[in-house]
Structure 1
Amino acid sequence: MVYLPRVADDVLAGRLSALGGVLLEGPRACGKTSTGLQHAASSVRLDSSPELLTLAESAPQLLLDGATPRLIDEWQLAPVVWNAIRHAIDDRSAPAQFILAGSARPADDITRHSGVGRVGRVRMRTMSLAESGRSSREVSLAALMDGASSVAGRSQLSYADVAAEAVRGGWPSLISATVAQAQIFNREYCDELYSSDIPMSTGVQRSRSRLRRTLAALARNVSTEATLSTLAADVAADGSSADTRTVRAYLDALSQVFALEELSAWSVDLRSRSRLRTQATIHLADPALACAALGVGPERLARDPRYFGFVFESMVVRDLRVLTSGFDGRVFRYRDNTGLEIDTIIESPDGSWGAMEVKLGQNGLGAAEAALLKLRDERVDIGKVGAPRFLAIATATEYAYTRPSGVHVVPLGTLGP
């Protein structure tokens, strides 16, 4: 399979130029190994043989011998190698020694200790439409963050095409697959989460039926700020019991294997008396997992614009997270006690920011524009945080353009780095 360049490539190269090691982490099958191999001079896969795990326990330094950068794939299967790598980086005193790739955090999350100044992190996600070749990439997120005054472009994706891409997902192995093949892959992916990924990563055998119902509850509430109580009630809808502590444990397990990545609230200075809401919104590693967990295909999704709207918002969040990682940016959401809500806030390391609402179709563009202008003109303290670099509405429509107010309309099928 031909390797398609990822936004993470430049991020990884930059980290390697400055640090002794880089940890690639993200959900299984998102492309960490392939990306790591593009930058590695040698590699070893710890899941390829039980003997390697034995060697890791008895003589981990032997696994580190090889041309550098050396890729240690699925390193979390033998967390003991972390300290060996850390010591090797200290001894060698040179950048670009190791790339580690893993699909789960170790149970004790050893990487949070003693890695500062030695090992950097690169979070990989499933492919954005720009990376998979589905987007025309005519509207640059970087240009928007630089204050572009206008946008133009045309998406080649119809409404039905966007539904198909949502069901397919951004897994690199599915680039050339049919949607029907992708649906099989995504159902199997969910089954592996229940039966293998979570038990292996957490060391705890959890109820497969409860995990399945938890993932379905998350899928039904994707792109919302559902509480633990709401999710617990959903999980227990079959008449069984489920308390919030149990649901929290299941959410933590899904986060540990990078299958769940909630969207945090934006912390910003306000000039009004409004108060920020701090509840995160629910997003899975890829919107396709939400569709798979509920058995939703592209035709059914397209016929249900309400649920499609939530799934599409999750697609936008996924793509923005991927694209903003290229400049070490972060994505948040905004909601205050007056009910004003902005789906995504993009923030750069220097504090500059932009805001993007999400609307599936043409309906609601006016309301989205009004909300964005209210955020800028009435809510955010511009004197403290600066004016937004851009205001935009992400859509599943055809044309990109700029409205007279300066708010950009950006079909997701035109968005690029």
Structure 2
Amino acid sequence: MDPLIEDIFGTLPAIMLVGPRATGKTTTAARHVRTVIRLDREQESAAFLADPDAALRRLPEPVLLDEWQMVPEVLGAVKRAVDDDHRPGRFILTGSVWSDFGGRTWPGTGRVVRVDMAGLSVKEAERTTGRPPFADLLAQGRVAELTVPARPPDLGDYLDLALRSGYPEAHRMPPAVRDRWLDSYIEQTLTRDIETLDGRRDPLRLRAYLEALALNTAGVVTDKTLYEAAAVNARTGEAYERLLRDLLLLDKIPAWFSNRLKRLVRGAKRYVVEPALVPALLRVGAEGIMRDGDLLGRMIDTFVAQQLRAEMPVCASRPRMYHLRQDRGRHEVDIVLELGMGQVIGIEVKASAAPRADAAKHLAWLRDELGDRFVAGVVLHTGARMYELGDRIVAAPICTVWS
């Protein structure tokens, strides 16, 4: 994210860096500023609550306003400051929740550029960020540049990578300590952060709803299934889902649509944003996941989506992430990356070491239906080899995303 922030901050006056709590936003942003104000600390937020414009004027710039959602009035102050002086590189705002705050008008349009930041990816952890993003290589027809390391991970290794967590602090911990850290993260998010957005909600029922989402991560599940699992009515379930999206714990991938294809399901595919939260919520370890084929497949899919999501803001091809499914599951593609002019990349995720040609049948169907609009198809798997499965379709180890 650092090169992206430098590019934007060198031209524009204000950036809003948005991502889940504990993903390293403050640490990253602090490298680009002179002054850091933490608005979740009472002694630092008092002046901004009293007079945000006056408080902002007194600070040496560039300024980081951390956890801006604690004093949302600061957004108006930033807007007015930028209107008066449009010099680049003045303000960075960071936040771990995203909300309309009761329907208030967003004052930063055209003045504050939002940049989404995901958790730590394997590419970042292994310091291979110099390589082009995976989606860009596919979009540019550079499939031959995908590489497999000398000792690629196997299924167990991929699961371990998913459990290691994208939270930088937890990533470095031994497993037993990490488990306790994740439990605490969930508890604090569902109690402390919920107060910021909607203190009327019951943390216990909200947890039950989040557990139902964890059990169905990487799936196209009906709203009714989730409501019944959490024992809430439809109105409460809708409110819980909005709240979990605002807390940046849930990501809904919309269904891809084309007039060329018939009987497409319009329902979204839901992901728990951080794969390591899934076993923490379900109170299951690696051995339990390995014994449950359905949960194992969901974990690997969620892990791959996390790796792709982390790269989206820096992709030159500017892809958007979707999924595709026909009714009754006749055809479905796990992830569809839509490029400009309606071009698409199809990605299937398989928790198997040597997928055969039938693993690419849905990608082949999509290719045949779309013709030249189909740029590439990839079956990402847990094996060690990369090989062709058909015209513009390859099988590749998951590690080619970052290696």
Q: Is the 8 A contact 1:135 1:413 kept in 2?
A: no
Alignment correspondent of 2:271:
283
Distance 1:308 1:195 in 2: 29
Q: Is the 8 A contact 1:74 1:102 kept in 2?
A: yes
- Name the amino acid aligned to 1:278: R
Q: How does 1:124-203 map to 2 (within 5 A)?
A: 124-133=117-126, 140-150=134-144, 151-154=146-149, 156-199=152-195, 201-203=196-198
Q: Deviations over 1:277-307 (max 9, x none)?
A: 1100111121111111001212221222321
**Please, which of 295, 303, 321 is the counterpart of residue 315 of structure 1?**
303
Cα RMSD of the aligned pairs, angstroms, is 2.4
TM-score by length of 1: 0.88
Alignment correspondent of 2:51:
59
5+ residue gaps, structure 2, are none
Distance 2:59 2:383 in 1: 50
1:26 pairs with 2:19: yes
**Please, which of 225, 238, 248 is the counterpart of residue 248 of structure 1?**
238
Alignment correspondent of 2:10:
17
Distance 1:53 1:152, change over 3 A: closer
Distance 1:166 1:149 in 2: 25
- Name the amino acid aligned to 1:372: L
Distance 2:356 2:15 in 1: 42
Distance 2:103 2:120 in 1: 28
SS in 2 for 1:30: coil
Distance 1:294 1:125, change over 3 A: same
Q: Is the 8 A contact 1:359 1:365 kept in 2?
A: no
SS in 2 for 1:361: coil
Per the TM alignment, residue 88 of structure 1 is displaced from its structure 2 partner at its CA by 0.4
Per the TM alignment, residue 26 of structure 1 is displaced from its structure 2 partner at its CA by 1.3
Alignment correspondent of 2:33:
40
5+ residue gaps, structure 1, are 1-7, 237-241
Alignment correspondent of 2:67:
74
Distance 1:134 1:89 in 2: 36
Per the TM alignment, residue 394 of structure 1 is displaced from its structure 2 partner at its CA by 1.4
Counting matched residue pairs gives: 396
SS in 1 for 2:65: strand
1:294 pairs with 2:287: no
Alignment correspondent of 1:400:
386
Q: Is the 8 A contact 1:222 1:310 kept in 2?
A: yes
1:230 pairs with 2:230: no
**Please, which of 207, 227, 248 is the counterpart of residue 258 of structure 1?**
248
TM-score by length of 2: 0.91
Alignment correspondent of 1:376:
367
Q: How does 1:99-118 map to 2 (within 5 A)?
A: 99-108=92-101, 113-118=106-111
Distance 1:217 1:26 in 2: 23
Distance 1:81 1:259 in 2: 25
Q: Deviations over 1:54-83 (max 9, x none)?
A: 211212132354343311111110011111
Distance 1:325 1:111 in 2: 26
- Name the amino acid aligned to 1:51: Q
Distance 1:226 1:337, change over 3 A: closer
Distance 2:128 2:350 in 1: 17
Distance 1:227 1:389, change over 3 A: same
Q: Which structure would you say has the larger RCO, counting Cα contacts within 8 Å and 6 or more residues apart?
A: 1
SS in 1 for 2:142: coil
Distance 1:24 1:350, change over 3 A: farther
Distance 1:256 1:29 in 2: 15
Q: Is the 8 A contact 2:14 2:113 kept in 1?
A: yes
**Please, which of 387, 394, 397 is the counterpart of residue 373 of structure 2?**
387
Q: Deviations over 1:100-154 (max 9, x none)?
A: 0011124527786232221000111112221222989798432111012434413
Q: Is the 8 A contact 2:12 2:86 kept in 1?
A: no
